Amino acid sequence: MLHLQSITKTYGKKQILKDVSFSIQAGEIVGLVGENGAGKSTMLQILATLSKPTKGKIHLAELSYEEHTKDIRKKIGYVPQDIAIWEEFTVEENMLFFEKLSWINKSKQQLKQLCLDMELDKWKEPVNTLSGGMKRKLNLAISLIHDPEVLLLDEPTVGIDLKSKMEIGNYLKEQATLHHKIIVYTSHDMDEIIRLCDRVLCIGEDPFYYDILVQKKKNVVTI
């Protein structure tokens, strides 16, 4: 279980997050929604150990983020909004490069199978020739090389076609259901959030997203 208690984040005099608390069970996909600037990306960066909260505590199972940062990082897969891959490399070369940086060693066949599982079959193709959807799949595949317990996905399907969105969504559901991963997912696409997520956390003071989700009878709470 991932548990956050009274998380507050300030930059100078500006408060981004205030007393945010929630828990996520293994096998859950939880959406994080809110207007721009509400703190969604900040929350994911904190969960990814890229930023520290000003106040509050976070635990992943029995491990404290504050006391076991290195161990926590081995259990986290993080996909930021910007695609972070080598455009001039092939898919194969990207996977092999990032495997060398991984906590877990994988064979070339295992890396290829990971891509195929996501319906990314362009193993020998240069990344700069791929569609936006294929690049997003590769970005996600790289985050899964070390088989993380927690996946943090910041707008992972923005700007791609519906087919690729559906394929990524189906793969994530499989990861949660069969492999009991904790998945935190941000998106401005409410249809995608409703289709994919088990629960939704609405961050910020604007009730717009909360009202939409309530109307759709989605399990949603404000944080």
- Which among 172, 150, 169 has a CA at the least distance from the CA of 48? 150
Number of structural domains the chain divides into: 1
Which amino acid type is present at position 186? T
pLDDT band at 73; cut points 50, 70, 90: very high
Q: pLDDT, tens digit, for every residue of 32-51?
A: 999 998 999 999 999 999 99
For the domain that residue 140 is a member of, what is the CATH number? 3.40.50.300
* pTM listed for this prediction: 0.92
Q: pLDDT, tens digit, for every residue of 117-153?
A: 999 999 999 999 999 999 999 999 999 999 999 999 9
* Cα 88 to Cα 54: distance, rounded to the nearest angstrom: 39
Structure confidence at residue 59 (pLDDT): 98
Q: Which domain holds residue 68?
A: 2-222
